[in-house]
Structure 1
Amino acid sequence: MSDDAAGAVPPGFTEVYRAQQARFPMPEPGWQPVHTVYVPADRFSSGSVSEWRDHALSLVKAHLGGPEELAEIFAVPGRLAAAVHERVLRKLAHEPIEDLRVDFEDGYGVRPDEVEDGHVEQAVEAVTALHAAGALPRRWGPRVKSFADGDPGRSVRTLRGFVTGVVERAGELPAGFTVTFPKVLMEEYLGQFAGVLARLEAGLGVRLRFEMQVEAPQTLPFLRAELAEALGGRLAAAHFGVFDYTAALGLPPHEQRLDHPVCDHARHVMQTAFAGTGVELSDGSLATSPASDRAADVHVLWRRHAELVRHSLRHGFYQGWDMHPSHLVSRFATVYAFHLAHYDAYQERVSAWEEQRDAGGGLMDEPATIRTLAAALRRADAALGR
């Protein structure tokens, strides 16, 4: 073989390489909410964010004595307890909710059209009031009904009324908007919903993206990297739905939990499908609130929720759903402790690699490990507000 032939670019390589770059952009981690808070549409108002903040802070005041108690309840290393405690208090006071969904689906139920239309108008008023006050969470939007329920018209009507109403009242669609599309039992629903967004875009001159929910075993087979590309970049995230998923598999109620092995399998399929695509991943929720206002019951709830948040974090899911103000305390405490626990060690290893020196401890880091460490530091900085 001649030198020219040996060095020639194989036929078709350029096209395949371009397809690779489009399908797997491999974006660096940026800011991603650590949670999504769901509020049923009929209970959502301009005061919802402050109500969640006040409730969470009241629980801290009543049932969290200080750093030592925080370390015991949330299994936070003692050396981190004071820093985590201070961060939790500051977070709850200034940004208790990072991502907000006004729920028109399971948390809301089926209502007559005129009733749901009224709640859409109510939600629009609340969103525009929060925006005007500078209190709208950094990410926000509605969760509409599923096409799998057989009535896509209701889903589209709610979405159109919500988006157009906000634009008309606020004069713009505030930054951070996304819409949650639940119970995607058929792959075709994704393309149909993306088409709905495209038509809304044309009329409003805004860019709309959505997150799909993975709530059924039927969804897993069609999760793949090509989805994000095929949907024109409109697929922003995939969120796991624990209760519909475990119920569909026939698990008894006491086994319908985020740390069940069947949920681990679903999460790993989601990770494999969307790795390198830029599609964000979110875990599900704990559908439990404190059994009473007594300290013992609040602590039981906090411990269990912290266990589940740690489980998600260890599996590479850095976002989850919070369904009650009490969850904010355990969410932020666990997230901050997770990111702070290894921050200094990761930073030292990356610095040692960049300076071409031994990191110590018998470690022999590979380039892929360094990229992972650097990504973990960027993710930690985003979560910690650094």
Structure 2
Amino acid sequence: MGQQEKVATSLAGAVSEGISASLAPVDAELERRYPGDPGTRQPVHTVYVPGERFAADTIRTWGDKALEMLDEHAPDAASFAAVLGLGDDLAEAVYTRVRTKLEREPVEDLRVDFEDGYKGADEDQDAARAARLIAEAYGNGTAAPYMGIRMKCMEEAVRDRGIRTLDIFLSGLMEAGGLPDGLVLTLPKVTYPEQVTAMVRLLEEFEKARGIERGRIGFEIQIETSQSILATDGTAAVARMIQAAEGRATGLHYGTFDYSACLHVSAAYQASDHPAADHAKAVMQVAAAGTGVRVSDGSTNVLPVGTTEQVHDAWRLHYGLTRRALARAYYQGWDMHPGHIPTRYAAVFAFYREGFGAAAKRLAAYAGHHEGGGVADEPATAKALAGYLLRGLDCGALDAGEVTRLTGLTLARLQGFAGPRRGDLTGSGK
């Protein structure tokens, strides 16, 4: 040990105390507005099914149809890898995991649609049936991890219908035994923060009527209009929408086609990689950062149907868009057809498996306080590395054993690096 330094100070303790007192309101505001990510599992996709078509076997049917498409158009790892451009080192692992996922947990998040996709003749009956079937699915173990409905929006023409459908659906769940943990609601076509406030008041009244703890029911905000990104006063309306939700907002979902049409983008160019889409999602991402609200990409309307060549073309497009979104930290998106989910999972699994070795090495080096990872990482990057590995575990791209082996970390320590409140890891299929 060298010579002990003489430590001198000039400020009285009262100075620090006074500054802390003056910043106490700011500290409280930061905690309220920016609580951080909830640490729960985020599904990699959301599947939308029209309310009149939703049935008890919908999830299994989607999985079976996806498997049939693989059998017909890519019956082995080599053929699937050739379509998507996967390297030999990933081909077998990705293909095997995709098939396993489709067999065990084909859908991670399902929304029964009572908005644009709904063409039913009796919405009351369809909403009541959706509640019964979802309650039964959670009861018998066939549910997706997350399920719920997309109601109609808060615009005047459909407002009353949307409110009634939501009431019927939530009441049906309560009559069947209560609200499931995986319940998710989606409010579409939000233009003004006041519409979000109206949704909050609606849910408060339902909770009060049913004796439910205040704040129990959250909802996603769907961004489908230019006014939700840039308000008339030049501010980012989406940021005010998050605050208007009073802690109930769980996600921001980008609506590819409504938003594109709002900006008069020609139909042939309406896609999630259009510059207008990139701008909207970038604003959403910045507005949501630190708030605990997740951002979801939209969908492609190019369906994998027709000849094998047509299916392969659609698969390559969907795979590329999904990989592009993941690189931009949009970890969730929409899927509109059973044929989309093989490439959804292929893109997600390839994304995590490609970067697994490097991420594990860097985190192990950071945890061991040495430079073996080749990068001088900081706490924020260590948090990102741990979060990356945990997302890979959540969806089934990675296995707990291999993550522990390469990082030298238990799951508890891994979760510690990612931050508090990490939810239960359900892995690749319950």
TM-score normalized by the length of structure 2: 0.84
Confirm or deny that 1:185 pairs with 2:187: no
* Structure 1 residues 2 and 172, CA gap change in structure 2 (3 angstroms): closer
Query: 1:264 is aligned with what amino acid?
Result: D
Confirm or deny that 1:117 pairs with 2:124: yes
Confirm or deny that 1:61 pairs with 2:71: yes
Post-superposition shift, 1:219? 0.1
* Structure 1 residues 80 and 28, CA gap change in structure 2 (3 angstroms): farther
244-253 or 203-212, which moves further after superposition?
203-212
Q: Which residue of 1 aligns with 2:407?
A: none
Q: Which residue of 2 aligns with 1:339?
A: 352
Post-superposition shift, 1:242? 0.6
1:283/1:319 contact within 8 Å kept: yes
Gaps (5+ residues) in structure 1? Answer: none
Structure number with greater CO (CA < 8 Å, separation at least 6) is: 1
Q: Could you tell me which of 3, 28, 31 is aligned with 2:12?
A: 3
The runs of 4+ residues in structure 1 deviating greater than 6 Å are none
1:225/1:277 contact within 8 Å kept: no
Q: Which residue of 1 aligns with 2:402?
A: none
What is the alpha-carbon distance in structure 1 between the residues aligned to residue 356 and residue 38 of structure 2? 18
Q: Which residue of 1 aligns with 2:233?
A: none
Q: Which residue of 2 aligns with 1:312?
A: 325
Post-superposition shift, 1:331? 0.4
364-373 or 330-339, which moves further after superposition?
364-373
1:225/1:275 contact within 8 Å kept: no
What is the alpha-carbon distance in structure 2 between the residues aligned to residue 26 and residue 314 of structure 1? 21
What is the alpha-carbon distance in structure 2 between the residues aligned to residue 190 and residue 196 of structure 1? 10
Q: Which residue of 1 aligns with 2:388?
A: 376
Q: Could you tell me which of 27, 45, 63 is aligned with 2:55?
A: 45
The superposition leaves residues 199-228 of structure 1 with CA deviations (integer Å, 9 ceiling, x where unpaired) of: 111122342110010111100134455644
Q: Which residue of 1 aligns with 2:219?
A: 210
The superposition leaves residues 308-332 of structure 1 with CA deviations (integer Å, 9 ceiling, x where unpaired) of: 1111111110000011000010101
1:30/1:382 contact within 8 Å kept: no
What is the alpha-carbon distance in structure 2 between the residues aligned to residue 73 and residue 223 of structure 1? 41
Matched position secondary structure for 1:43? coil
Confirm or deny that 1:327 pairs with 2:333: no
Q: Which residue of 2 aligns with 1:162?
A: 169
How many residues align? The count is: 380
1:22/1:229 contact within 8 Å kept: no
Confirm or deny that 1:281 pairs with 2:295: yes
1:29/1:378 contact within 8 Å kept: no
Q: Which residue of 2 aligns with 1:144?
A: 151
What is the alpha-carbon distance in structure 2 between the residues aligned to residue 24 and residue 42 of structure 1? 39
Matched position secondary structure for 1:19? helix
Q: Could you tell me which of 1, 12, 15 is aligned with 2:22?
A: 12
What is the alpha-carbon distance in structure 2 between the residues aligned to residue 264 and residue 246 of structure 1? 11
Structure-to-structure mapping, 1:218-237, within 5 angstroms = 218-221=227-230, 222-223=236-237, 227-237=241-251
147-156 or 81-90, which moves further after superposition?
147-156
The superposition leaves residues 313-358 of structure 1 with CA deviations (integer Å, 9 ceiling, x where unpaired) of: 1111000001100001010111011011111211111111121211
Confirm or deny that 1:26 pairs with 2:36: yes
* Structure 1 residues 78 and 243, CA gap change in structure 2 (3 angstroms): same
2:361/2:373 contact within 8 Å kept: no
Query: 2:258 is aligned with what amino acid?
Result: D
Q: Which residue of 1 aligns with 2:417?
A: none
Post-superposition shift, 1:383? 2.1
Same amino acid, percent of matched pairs = 38
Query: 2:381 is aligned with what amino acid?
Result: T
Post-superposition shift, 1:121? 2.5
* Structure 1 residues 21 and 49, CA gap change in structure 2 (3 angstroms): same
Matched position secondary structure for 2:110? strand
What is the alpha-carbon distance in structure 2 between the residues aligned to residue 298 and residue 334 of structure 1? 16
Matched position secondary structure for 2:116? coil
TM-score normalized by the length of structure 1: 0.93
What is the alpha-carbon distance in structure 1 between the residues aligned to residue 30 and residue 373 of structure 2? 37
What is the alpha-carbon distance in structure 2 between the residues aligned to residue 173 and residue 310 of structure 1? 34
Confirm or deny that 1:133 pairs with 2:140: yes
Q: Which residue of 2 aligns with 1:103?
A: 113
What is the alpha-carbon distance in structure 2 between the residues aligned to residue 285 and residue 295 of structure 1? 22
Post-superposition shift, 1:370? 2.2
Post-superposition shift, 1:230? 4.1
99-108 or 126-135, which moves further after superposition?
126-135
* Structure 1 residues 205 and 136, CA gap change in structure 2 (3 angstroms): farther
Matched position secondary structure for 2:52? helix
2:304/2:340 contact within 8 Å kept: no
Query: 1:365 is aligned with what amino acid?
Result: D
1:258/1:286 contact within 8 Å kept: yes
Gaps (5+ residues) in structure 2? Answer: 1-9, 231-235, 397-426
What is the alpha-carbon distance in structure 1 between the residues aligned to residue 33 and residue 185 of structure 2? 23
What is the alpha-carbon distance in structure 2 between the residues aligned to residue 127 and residue 49 of structure 1? 11
Aligned CA RMSD, in angstroms, stands at 1.8
* Structure 1 residues 226 and 355, CA gap change in structure 2 (3 angstroms): farther
Confirm or deny that 1:350 pairs with 2:363: yes
2:192/2:237 contact within 8 Å kept: no
